[in-house]
């Protein structure tokens, strides 16, 4: 089964993800990971200086799966308003999907978010950068009137906080979620809109 496979950080991350999915964050141990890799637990520490940093690396890798497809939308072409709307909807749907599809990894993300972990902050900053790309295009297209691109990008991300931050995941089951989200998007897009040339 476990043949002479070279132990790599990537391999450790894969297996750690599996262990987290199986046991949950609270019960998963470095010893579990080592056992699954058929190595001593000391070997894991050659690649990750602590259990906490292993946990962060796994979360970072997992969150990158959320932000990578969004980057494609952000860097796309076409009218900026439609692109921003698509980006925002995609982000929130992706997070909503993760709750159902990958509950234990999502719980890890929630735990890290509660700890104000740098990985979650970096993820948020990456998302804001993507929004800023779209805003910048929108200004060039004359579709958006935005003076502070980065500040507005962050404001938008804050504004939809309730729809993508893991602390609010339970609320994503509310029957009126879509209606409320639509109303918020409409308000934000209107706030970004450049005056119509008449």
Name the minimum Å distance from CB 100 to its own copies. 18
Name the minimum Å distance from CB 193 to its own copies. 8
Name the minimum Å distance from CB 189 to its own copies. 8
Contact 45, 16 (CB under 8 A): no
> Counting contacts by CB under 8 A, is residue 162 touching its own copies?
yes
**Binding residue for its own copies (CB under 8 A) from 170, 175, 178, 197?**
170
Report the C-alpha gap between 198 and 186 in whole angstroms: 22
Long-range contacts, 64-73 (Cβ 8 Å, 24+): 66/91, 66/94, 66/95, 66/98, 66/123, 67/123, 67/126, 67/127, 67/130, 69/94, 70/94, 70/127, 70/130, 71/130, 73/130
Q: What x-and-dash track marks residues 112-141 binding its own copies by CB under 8 A? A: ----x-------------------------
Name the minimum Å distance from CB 30 to DNA. 3
Nearest to 81 by CA among 139, 20, 5: 139
**Binding residue for its own copies (CB under 8 A) from 24, 35, 155, 172?**
155
Name the minimum Å distance from CB 111 to DNA. 12
> Counting contacts by CB under 8 A, is residue 191 touching its own copies?
yes
Contacted entry of DNA, its own copies, none for residue 30, CB cut-off 5 to 8 Å set by kind: DNA
Dihedral sign for Cα 25, 95, 54, 33, please.
positive
For its own copies, the closer CB: 71 or 177: 177
Residues in contact with DNA by the rule CB under 7 A: 6-7, 26-27, 29-32, 38-43, 45-46, 49-52
Count of CB atoms situated within 10 Å of the CB of 174: 11
Report the C-alpha gap between 105 and 77 in whole angstroms: 33
Positions that interact with its own copies (CB under 8 A): 116, 148, 151-152, 154-156, 158-163, 165, 167-168, 170-171, 179-180, 183-184, 186-192, 198
């Amino acid at each position: 089964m476990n043949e002479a496979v070279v132990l790599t950080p990537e391999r450790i991350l894969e297996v750690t993800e599996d262990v987290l999915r199986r046991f949950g964050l609270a019960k998963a141990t470095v010893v579990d990971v080592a056992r699954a890799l058929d190595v001593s637990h000391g070997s894991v520490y050659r690649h990750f200086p602590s259990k906490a940093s292993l946990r962060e690396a796994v979360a970072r890798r997992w969150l990158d799966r959320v932000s990578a497809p969004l980057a494609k939308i952000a860097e796309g072409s076409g009218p900026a308003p439609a692109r921003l709307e698509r980006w925002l909807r995609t982000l929130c749907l992706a997070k909503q999907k993760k709750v159902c599809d990958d509950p234990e990894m999502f719980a890890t993300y929630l735990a890290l978010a509660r700890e104000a972990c740098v990985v979650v902050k970096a993820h948020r900053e990456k998302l804001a950068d993507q929004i800023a790309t779209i805003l910048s295009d929108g200004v060039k297209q004359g579709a958006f009137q935005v003076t502070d691109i980065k500040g507005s990008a962050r404001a938008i991300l804050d504004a939809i906080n309730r729809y993508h931050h893991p602390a609010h995941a339970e609320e994503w089951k509310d029957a009126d979620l879509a209606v409320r989200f639509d109303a918020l998007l409409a308000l934000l897009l209107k706030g970004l809109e450049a005056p119509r040339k008449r």
